[in-house]
Every structure is written in C-alpha cells, then in structure tokens.
Amino acid sequence: KRIKLTQYNSVDDAVDLIKNAKNIIVLTGAGISTSLGIPDFRSKDKGLYAKLEYLGLSDPQEVFDINTFRDDPSIFYTIARDILPSTDRFTPTHAFIHLLQQKGKLLTNYSQNIDNIESIAGILPEKLIQCHGSFATASCVECKYQIPGETIFPDIKAGRIPKCPKCIASLKAQAGTSMKRKRSQNGQSKKRGRYDSGADDSTDDDLDTAKGGIMKPDITFFGEQLPDRFSDRLTNHDKHLVDLVIVIGTSLKVAPVSEVVPYLPAHIPQMYISKTPVSHVNFDIDMLGECDVVVAELCRRAGWDLNHEMIPEK
C-alpha cells in the first residue's frame, strides 16, 4: 500500500482530470455489469460466491480452479449455465468507457469480466484486454483444439459436459483401427467385444469414459496464465503512455490485475468508482456509489452526452 499526499479531493477534480487526460487506462470488474442483473463475485448476499455455498466447497473460488476442473469438470458445469453471457445490452458504465474511446482518450480497458459486454458496447479489440478471458472461445483441456464459445452453449444450458470434437473424432478413428485389427485377427468370430462388432456402434457416450476431450470456455481459471497481451501491453506500451487510471467496480482482490495500480508510476492520478471502498490501495479520488450513477454525473459535469439510458434498479 503506498502512502500518497494527493492534491485531488473532489468530483470536479475528477472531471478535470478526465477532461485533460489523453491516455486513460480503465480497469473494470464485475460491478460494471451488475445493473444488467449479472451477479458480481464477492458482494455479501447477491454475489456468485455467496450463492455457491450449496456446493459445499471449502472455498467457492474452487469452481474456477484449473486443478478442480481437471479433477471434476462437473463442478464448473453445474454453475456455468448461470454465468453464461445472455444479453446484448450494455450499461451506462460500458457506454462511458466507449465515450472515452470516441473522444480519443481511451488507452486500454483492462477488464476482468468474462461477459464480453465491452465488445457489445463497441470497445475496439485493440483497446480491450480481457484479463480473465471470456466465453467467446472454448478449448479442449487436453489437445487445446479451439472452437467458437457459442458451439458449447447448448451443452452448457442442458447441464452436459461439452466434449472436444477433435478428441472424439480421433478416439473414434482409433476405435475403428482397433476394430479392423480385431476383425482381421479374429476372422469370423461372432463374439462381440466393445469394438469388435461388424459395425462401428461406438457412441460418444462410450467415448466419455476415455480420457481427455473436455472443452473449457477460455476463461482464465485460478492456476492458469493470463493472456500474454495483458503484461505485454501493460509493460511495453501503456506504462509509458498512461496519464490517468480509472478503476471501476472491482474489489481488486485477484492478482495480477490487482497489481496494475501499484505497478504504474506513482505520479499518475488514479481514481476509484465502486459501491465498496478498498483498504489495500490508496487512490487519489474515491467515488463510492452505483457506478452507472457516478459516471453519468461525471459526464453531466463534463458537459458530455453519455447517450445511454439508466437501467432501472431491480
């Protein structure tokens, strides 16, 4: 935690900083999507982790742990349908980040969110780092074969564990080869083994028991590396250009994203917009409240048209 003597202390200071900045890093978390009804993770009663108590895990974060997934993917797939992106809407806060982009002020939006709503709001791919990945693609945990994420949505919605089409195909091919070998060895044998019937009657269910072939959305689980673009862009590009940091709707509990703020030069002003204060980071300005309301007020004072309706509270 760094001690800072800051010359900024009011919302108008925040507005001035935003109006004068040219290269803003916006670092976002689950709090910017909650007004769409998507739960955050750590809010005490409405957060996803509070809702997962019924799973009986020692730590609810285990649902996003890669070792847990490898041991038992059904734990993740029990809850996956509840966190599947299912909206084409975005919030005033997403609109605010887009407005910064339109005004040529957005350096990068580092988002920890997996809902991909930044893309729906029009944040350009080159300005967006989805630090924890997203549901946009899915990969096989064994052979790394990657497919569009939507391909596995029907399985997720039906509560099935999605299989890797490539692994299944190669297992079927292997099964076919061993079937032919057995037939040539056994001649006219009528005995039916698993793969020694005349027809290829192996099903995907037969192959379930074979190792491998589980698809996982390309979300960065605990124990996995963040995408290379995260540290590449931060250390080789943004660090030298950034002139303002705006952190919105995150508890900053998860490294390495939580380390972005202390990593950047201390003289770069940093502001925090969220419902809950953080005690482990000293920001120059804290604006506590609903982020949609805060950004709307910042825009009003800046004389900017946010051009997005507020979402009524549920």
The C-alpha atoms of residue 59 and residue 65 are separated, in whole angstroms, by 10
The C-alpha atoms of residue 144 and residue 135 are separated, in whole angstroms, by 15
The C-alpha atoms of residue 104 and residue 252 are separated, in whole angstroms, by 27
SS3 310: coil
Nearer to ligand OAD, 133 or 269 (CB): 133
Nearer to ligand OAD, 34 or 101 (CB): 34
Nearer to ligand OAD, 152 or 167 (CB): 152
Across the chain, which distance is largest between two alpha carbons, in Å? 90
Q: Which pair of tokens denotes residue 176? A: 């076919």
> Of residues 45-84, which lie at the interface with ligand OAD (CB under 6 A)?
47, 61, 64
The C-alpha atoms of residue 146 and residue 188 are separated, in whole angstroms, by 42
> Of residues 178-197, which lie at the interface with ligand OAD (CB under 6 A)?
none
The C-alpha atoms of residue 48 and residue 36 are separated, in whole angstroms, by 14
Residue from 52, 195, 290, 304 in contact with ligand OAD (CB under 6 A): 290
Shortest distance, position 87 Cβ to ligand OAD, whole Å: 15
Nearer to ligand OAD, 220 or 270 (CB): 220
Which secondary structure element, helix H or strand E, spans residue 246, and what is its range?
Answer: strand 244-248
The C-alpha atoms of residue 22 and residue 235 are separated, in whole angstroms, by 18
The C-alpha atoms of residue 273 and residue 285 are separated, in whole angstroms, by 9
Shortest distance, position 289 Cβ to ligand OAD, whole Å: 7
299 is in an annotated binding site: no
Closest residue to ligand OAD, Cβ-based? 31
Indicate if 240 belongs to the active site: no
131 is in an annotated binding site: no
The verdict on 29 binding ligand OAD (CB under 6 A) reads: yes
The verdict on 280 binding ligand OAD (CB under 6 A) reads: no
The C-alpha atoms of residue 87 and residue 117 are separated, in whole angstroms, by 8
* Pure H helices in the chain: 11-20, 48-51, 66-71, 73-83, 92-102, 117-120, 153-157, 165-186, 204-208, 228-233, 239-241, 260-263, 291-302
The verdict on 274 binding ligand OAD (CB under 6 A) reads: yes
> Of residues 127-156, which lie at the interface with ligand OAD (CB under 6 A)?
132
Angle at Cα 32 formed by Cα 28 and Cα 38, nearest 5°? 125
Stretch that binds ligand OAD, among 24-32, 168-176, 178-186, 302-310 (CB under 6 A): 24-32
Nearer to ligand OAD, 41 or 195 (CB): 41
Shortest distance, position 249 Cβ to ligand OAD, whole Å: 4
Residues of the shown chain interacting with ligand OAD in the complex, contacts defined by CB under 6 A = 29-31, 34-35, 40-43, 47, 61, 64, 112, 114, 132, 219-220, 249-251, 253-254, 274-276, 290-291
Known binding residues: 140, 143, 164, 167
**Catalytic annotation, residues:** 132
Residues belonging to the binding site for Zn(2+) are 140, 143, 164, 167
